[in-house]
Chains A and B, each alone.
Chain A
């Protein structure tokens, strides 16, 4: 197996994992904002 596979599998999964966390955080943030709109910004 070429070294390219190991490098891109590392970078790809890292990027995907961080992107997933950001997406989940943004969704949670939107949902919590809808529920409690009385908090001071």
Chain B
């Protein structure tokens, strides 16, 4: 059988169900291991920052959570677009399953950023472009879930919330480039693919380990949620 045909075979909720269970278990185990390693590097191995002292250690959850909040939204909008284009149930389910985890990481990014801002900026919150656009992202996630829950007929709810997800995707580049487009209190990007990292290698290692842990955790959580949806809808 041609490999491309297998992908379409797994597009069916019934065939995707056991595969999702297997992937979720491996991702959950990987997330736990990477989180332990990331926390060890971030809290024990990484040295105290010369300027900020110990409080910089919030970076090991703040930055990975902020990355996940934006990445999950783009994936959610992508699955929503696929669902609208091809009318596939599994695509809408994946978009719906991503929203709570994305909202959770957005909340964590805002919460940890606020707690980091108090000792470094002198305030928990400021209506700066980066913080405000991230807060709008949280409202987009909540709006997506609320809209889906408000419509009784599942297929109509899928389509309506998918439209909201796609329109809201415009906010993600605004969040990412807000520190370049406007004068913000928030610092620039910690890591960029176009230039060398500005932080020590051990700090970057801890941050990337936590980002990978959050990534695998998200995959596991979303796949478990999709399995629940498949059971509930069939």
Contact = CB atoms under 8 A, between A and B. Distances in A.
Interface residues of A, number: 24
B108 A13 contact: yes
Q: Say what secondary structure dominates the interface of chain B.
A: helix
Contacts of B104: 17-18, 21
Contacts of B230: 39
B217 A35 contact: no
Interface string A1-40: 1011011011101100110011001001100110110011
A41 B58 CA distance: 40
Q: Say what secondary structure dominates the interface of chain A.
A: helix
Interface string B85-111: 000000000000000110010011001
B231 A14 contact: no
A39 B12 CA distance: 13
B17 A40 contact: yes
Contacts of B224: 25, 29
A13 to B, nearest CB: 6
Contact of B228 (A13, A14, A32): A32
Contacts, number: 74
B101 A3 contact: no
Q: Chain B: interface residue count, which band? A: 20 to 34
Nearest to B222: A25
Contacts of A25: 221, 224-225, 228
B58 A6 contact: yes
Interface string B1-44: 00000000000001001100100000000000000000000000
Given A4-B54, A9-B115, A18 B228 contact: no
A17 B21 contact: no
10 contacts: A4-B54, A6-B116, A6-B119, A9-B115, A14-B65, A17-B107, A18-B217, A29-B228, A41-B17, A41-B21
